[in-house]
Structure 1
Amino acid sequence: MKKQSAKKNSCEYCGNYAYDEENDYYVCEVNLDEDEMVRFLSGRDFACPYYQPGDEYRIVRKQM
């Protein structure tokens, strides 16, 4: 069950994770402070406070 929660909070499923066509890779559009960046790059369990689910259909469901 831990895999599912980790997967849910991973950058790949975040609305702030965007593809940069100029550099040909994905980047986080949120500016992390120095401490957050160290935790993120060290590979420890990083719980991003700026995580937003990348759900394009969220607005549609609210309208139903």
Structure 2
Amino acid sequence: MSKDELANRRWMAIPGHIRKKLEGNVFCRNCGVTTIIDYIVGSENHKTVLEGRCEKCGAAVARLID
């Protein structure tokens, strides 16, 4: 199993209502706190990382889930 598949399993193991809160609490350098959209789930240093775009301006954003 790849590290990205493992990260996706860890992400999906988080209850849905908590995932929604995490998706909606991402920092954008242009907009401040925003929601991440069109994201992919990856892994970095054994932690889950969401990489996507800001819902407001479309800039690249990321969220580390530890």
More helix by share: 1
Which is richer in strand?
2
Question: Whose radius of gyration is greater, 1 or 2?
Answer: 1
Higher-RCO chain (CA-CA 8 Å, sequence separation at least 6): 1
